[in-house]
Structure 1
C-alpha cells in the first residue's frame, strides 16, 4: 500500500477527528497534505496542531495546488454534492460524511460522478466500522438466530447540533443529521428494502435554548416497515443532556441481538427483574465510536488500493430516501411510502425548488 496524500475538506469536529486518526493511528499510510475550510482561522488552527503544510478556503484552490490521492469531506450536508462531484471529477477517491446529500437529485449527481470516474466513494456511517455492529450483522446474515422481526435503534446526542443543522431547509433536520445512522443500521440489519416510514416529533428544549427555527424538533420516533415483513423503530433525542447513547436490539424468529449501551460496559443482562450498572456514560460520539472512526479511515485507505468499500453510494442514497419520506411524514402527519418519492414532478416543500428524484 503506497502512502496516500489526502485533502481534508472541513476543519470542524469531524474533520479534526479524521485528521488525528489519519496522522496518529493509520500507521503512516497517509499524509494530510492540505486542510480546506471557509474559515481560514479554523483551518489554520487544525493545520498547526497536526503540522499540515497547506491551508485553503476552497476545494478549488486546493485542487490547483495538488496532487492528492483522496479527499475526506466533513462539511455541512448542503455542500456535499458540489464538493464530492468536484473531487471525483478531479480524480480523487472520496470519503463523504453522512448524510450523503440533501435530496435524491443530489445523490444521483454524486453517483453519476462516481460512475464516470475510476475512483471509490465511502460513506461515513461509522457504525458500519464498529466491531460489535459488524459482528451483529454477520450473525444476522448467518441465519442461526432466524429472520429479523423487530429492530429497535436509537441515537441520543448530548447537545444541540450546529445552527445550520437546526433548519430542515439546510439539513433535513435531526432525522438526517443524527438519526440517519439509525436509518442505515435498520436497513443493514433488516437485509431488505424499506417500504414506508412514519415519523412523529416533539420539541421539548429548543425554545428555552434559543432555537426558534420553524419545524425544529429535538425528539422523534419513527417506524419503518420492510419488504421482508420486518418492522423497525427509531428513537432520537438531541439534546439528551445525560451523554451519548447509541443502541440497537433485534428480535428474530430464533433469538435476539443487543448492541451497545450507555457506557463502555459491554453486553448486559437482567436477571429476575433486577440490574445494577455503574459504568460511566459515554460523553460523546467520539468516545463511543473511537475505534470505529479509526477503522473507517484505515479502510478508506485500503479501498483506495482496491479493497472492497464497506458502505457507499447505494446505502447513502437509501438513507436519504428514508430521510425525505420521513420528513414528509412529519410535515404531513401520515405514513409515507418510499414509492411516493418516484412520483413525476414531486418537489420537496421544505427545499425550495428541489426535486425528490
Structure 2
C-alpha cells in the first residue's frame, strides 16, 4: 500500500482499546489515528478529547464508511468480532482484531475467508509474540538450546473482578477465552504444534456475585493437553486474584528448561524497622507488563499492510485458540477428555 499514512479507527474505547488508540495517537510510523468508536457516546467523546481527535462515532459502520479510514482495530466484546471484521473486510479495510478472535471456530473461519476474499490483512492481538522475553525464549527453542520441547506450562492470573458480561460464558467464552487465550497461543507457538486433546477442570472460588445468575461461571481453570507432536501442556488461568498480575511460562525440553515471566515487578526489595521482613513489589497490570509489546504489534500491523507481508499472529492462530477454548469449556461441562477433531 503506497498511501503516505494509513488511517486508523479504533473500535472499542475500553482499557485495551485505549492502549492501541494511545499508541497510534502518539505516533506509529506510517499511521494516523482518525477516529475512535464506542457505543456509549460519552465514552467515545471523552476518548476523542483525550486523543485530540475531531472524529468519534457510536456506530462502527460509520467508521468503516469513513473514507479516511484504511484499517480498523477491533477491541469490542468477543460476540461482536465476526460481524465487525466481516463488514470491514467487505469495505476493503485492513483489520487488527483483539483476542479471542470470535465465539466459535465457524465464526473464525468466516472471518478468515472474507478477509482473504477481499485481499485485506487480518492480524490477531497476541501481543506476547511481540514481547522481548517471549521472543527470546522462542529464539532459544528454535536454536535447540533446550533440545526438543517436552512440556509447556503457561499461567495467567488477573487481579481484577470481571465485568458482569464476562460472567456469561455464552458471550464471553469464560476465563479460558478472556484470560487464557494468550497462554493457549503461547503453548502452540513454543511447541510448534496444534492441540490434539484437552481435559479441563474449573470452579468459582472468588466471584460470589456470579454464582446465582451465572452458575456455570468459573474464576479458576486448569487445562491439560497433548499436542499433535506429542508435547504435553498445562494452561492455568484465574481472575480476581487480587495480589497482582501474574504471567509466567515454563518450557521443559529434553536437554534443559526455559522460564519466561516473573510475578516480581523488579529487582528492588526492602525491609524496615517496623516490617522486619523482605518486601518486593508485584506486577499490578498487564497494561504495564506488556505495554511495549502492544506498541510493537501495532507497528507490525502497519508494516504488514504497507508491505503485504504475512502478519506474525494470523487468523489461523486465532482460530486454533478458539478451538481449544471451546473444547476446554466442553470438557468442563461434560467432565471428560475432548479430542480437538470431534465433530
Deviation at 1:199, TM superposition (A): 0.5
> Distance in 1 between the 2:189 and 2:279 partners?
31
> In structure 2, what is the equivalent of residue 231 of structure 1?
232
Say if 2:44 is the partner of 1:43. Answer: yes
Deviation at 1:13, TM superposition (A): 0.8
Deviation at 1:23, TM superposition (A): 1.5
Say if 2:70 is the partner of 1:76. Answer: no
> In structure 2, what is the equivalent of residue 271 of structure 1?
none
Q: Helix, strand or coil for the counterpart of 1:305?
A: helix
Structure 1 runs of 4+ aligned residues shifted over 6 Å read none
> Distance in 2 between the 1:65 and 1:79 partners?
20
User: Within 5 Å, which residues of 2 pair with 1:298-337?
Assistant: 298-306=299-307, 307-337=309-339
Q: Deviations over 1:279-301 (max 9, x none)?
A: 42111110110110111111111
> Distance in 1 between the 2:326 and 2:221 partners?
15
RMSD: 1.7
Deviation at 1:92, TM superposition (A): 0.9
Q: Helix, strand or coil for the counterpart of 1:319?
A: helix
Aligned residues: 331
Deviation at 1:143, TM superposition (A): 1.7
Residues 237 and 277 of structure 1, relative CA distance in 2, 3 Å threshold: farther
Judge conservation of contact 2:21–2:36 (CA < 8 Å) in 1. Answer: no
Q: Helix, strand or coil for the counterpart of 1:236?
A: strand
Deviation at 1:263, TM superposition (A): 2.8
Q: Helix, strand or coil for the counterpart of 2:151?
A: strand
Q: Helix, strand or coil for the counterpart of 2:234?
A: strand
> In structure 1, what is the equivalent of residue 251 of structure 2?
250
> In structure 1, what is the equivalent of residue 137 of structure 2?
136
> Distance in 1 between the 2:81 and 2:28 partners?
25
> In structure 2, what is the equivalent of residue 158 of structure 1?
159
Judge conservation of contact 2:34–2:68 (CA < 8 Å) in 1. Answer: no
Deviation at 1:209, TM superposition (A): 7.3
> Distance in 1 between the 2:300 and 2:154 partners?
25
Residues 209 and 115 of structure 1, relative CA distance in 2, 3 Å threshold: closer
> In structure 1, what is the equivalent of residue 9 of structure 2?
7
Judge conservation of contact 1:206–1:212 (CA < 8 Å) in 2. Answer: no
Q: Helix, strand or coil for the counterpart of 1:154?
A: strand
Judge conservation of contact 2:63–2:69 (CA < 8 Å) in 1. Answer: no
- Could you tell me the TM-score, scaled by structure 2's length? 0.93
Deviation at 1:213, TM superposition (A): 1.2
- Could you tell me the TM-score, scaled by structure 1's length? 0.89
User: Within 5 Å, which residues of 2 pair with 1:1-357?
Assistant: 2-27=4-29, 29-207=30-208, 212-265=213-266, 278-306=279-307, 307-340=309-342, 343=343
Q: Which runs of 5+ in 2 are unaligned?
A: 268-276
Q: Deviations over 1:116-174 (max 9, x none)?
A: 12211110011111011011111112223211111110000011222211111111111
> Distance in 2 between the 1:95 and 1:184 partners?
17
Residues 314 and 277 of structure 1, relative CA distance in 2, 3 Å threshold: farther
Residues 105 and 124 of structure 1, relative CA distance in 2, 3 Å threshold: same
Q: Helix, strand or coil for the counterpart of 2:341?
A: helix
> Distance in 2 between the 1:188 and 1:25 partners?
29
Q: Which runs of 5+ in 1 are unaligned?
A: 267-275, 344-357
Residues 233 and 179 of structure 1, relative CA distance in 2, 3 Å threshold: same
Deviation at 1:67, TM superposition (A): 2.9
Deviation at 1:22, TM superposition (A): 1.2
Residues 48 and 213 of structure 1, relative CA distance in 2, 3 Å threshold: same
Q: Deviations over 1:201-245 (max 9, x none)?
A: 111111157874120111111101012221111111101100101
> In structure 2, what is the equivalent of residue 352 of structure 1?
none
> Distance in 2 between the 1:221 and 1:145 partners?
25
> Distance in 1 between the 2:212 and 2:91 partners?
39
